[in-house]
Amino acid sequence: MMQEVVAALICREMDGKRQFLIAQRPENKARGLLWEFVGGKVEVGESREAALERECREELGVSISVGALYWEGRHSYPDLEVHLSLFRAAVKTGTIQKLEHNDLQWITPDEIGQFEFCPADVEILKQICKQGVEDGLTELQRELFAMQDLRYRNFTGALIPTVSPDRVIGVRTPKLRTLAKNIQNRASTASFLAELPHRYYEENNLHAFLISAGKDYRQTIGELDRFLPFVDNWATCDSMSPKVFRKNHAALRGDVARWIKSDHPFAVRFGIKTLMTEFLDNDFCISDAYTVAQIDSDEYYVKMMQAWYFATALAKHYEKILPFLREGKLSPWVYRMTVRKACESYRITEAQKAELRALVPQKTE
């Protein structure tokens, strides 16, 4: 039976050299006194990242952030077959202690030959000798990893299926918003905004918050036009709500029209969202509803935003929007989802909900 095992590649800078942490197994255990990376077995129902966090807490007495996968592979011992995953990791809180191992050492790649390692680590060590242990992270990425919450990472990953799990760090939104405020005036922030695409989901959200804080309308539009083609999930898309939009509705309509015609689905979604958040109150125009209804897309996240737009529009302009449902102006999928969302809304009266449920939309040619 294959045993899932995880290990941590924890590094530090010392005297201008990049070192990584290794641990010597207790003498009374299998492969006693051989050297290895800190880690252990993944328990039933546990993610690899959560297992590594637990093992480092138990073996070193520290809380870690788990980064990218550095190496994975299989090895067969006489008594055990393992699938080993080595993740980059960094200490968030606590001081490293020798709680379970016989010894701990910080070494450079050049010093690997001075230690006898477990056979399962041989291929990892070859890669370290060839590639080194530089993490390739920017200063900002290290700040994000220092705020990592693995439970939140697992929760978030399940909500954004269009983003690979290894691109999610796991930083809660309030902390991201605070970081965005803190770095607005940093000299390096302009370079961050210019460097697209970003590596991590949280970097995209941070980018979105920075754009939303812009005070110059034309500059904000320029940043949006550069960024929207790289948006790859609904959460990042929906987190952008530039305050500067509110005083520039006349110009904004033209920009919304461009986004809605885009080939990028999340640019289209953002255009519909902007019509919903900016133009359903005093500046409402029925032509906007026709524009949204006429969008023909197979993209799930575009269709979902169309339904969200019409459900919200029903809450604010029920009599004007009802004909779009009654007269079959919406695609069947958007129609069904609009009714569902409207019936879940506290802003729709019970009488209106009953009317919506009883609707039989007319067929259109």
Place of tokens 């909900």: 353
- Predicted local confidence at residue 254, as pLDDT: 96
Residue 156 contacts residue 226 (beta carbons within 8 Å):
no
Q: What is the pTM of this model?
A: 0.78
Name, in order, each residue with C-beta under 8 angstroms of 218's C-beta and a sequence gap of 6 or more: none
Calculate the average pLDDT of the chain. 94
> Residue 365: is its pLDDT beyond 60?
no
Q: Are residues 186 and 276 in the same domain?
A: no
Q: Are residues 92 and 51 in the same domain?
A: yes
Give tens-digit pLDDT for 290-312. 999 999 999 999 999 999 999 99
Residue 20 contacts residue 106 (beta carbons within 8 Å):
yes
Query: What Cα–Cα distance (Å) separates residue 268 from each residue in 32, 88, 333?
Result: 59, 37, 17
Q: Are residues 119 and 216 in the same domain?
A: no
Give tens-digit pLDDT for 73-90. 999 998 889 999 999 999
Q: Are residues 126 and 165 in the same domain?
A: no
Q: Is residue 83 part of a domain?
A: yes
Give tens-digit pLDDT for 102-117. 999 999 999 999 999 9
Distance between CA atoms of 220 and 169, rounded to whole angstroms?
27
* Closest of 102, 110, 101, 125 to residue 39, by C-alpha: 101
- The boundaries of the domain holding residue 9 are 2-131
Mean pLDDT of the region 153-168: 91
Q: Is residue 42 part of a domain?
A: yes
Task: Express as a percent the part of the chain with pLDDT over 90.
Answer: 85
Total number of domains constituting the chain: 3
DSSP string for 130-167: HH-S-----HHHHHHHHT--HHHHHHHHHH-TTS-GGG
* Pairing state between β 35-36 and 17-24: antiparallel
Q: Is residue 265 part of a domain?
A: no
- Predicted local confidence at residue 246, as pLDDT: 95
Q: Is residue 262 part of a domain?
A: no
Residue 89 contacts residue 67 (beta carbons within 8 Å):
yes
Residue at which a domain ends, from 131, 156, 187: 131
Fill in the DSSP letter of residue 246.
Answer: G
- The tokens for 295 are 């969008």
- Predicted local confidence at residue 58, as pLDDT: 96
Fill in the DSSP letter of residue 188.
Answer: T
Residue 26 contacts residue 102 (beta carbons within 8 Å):
yes
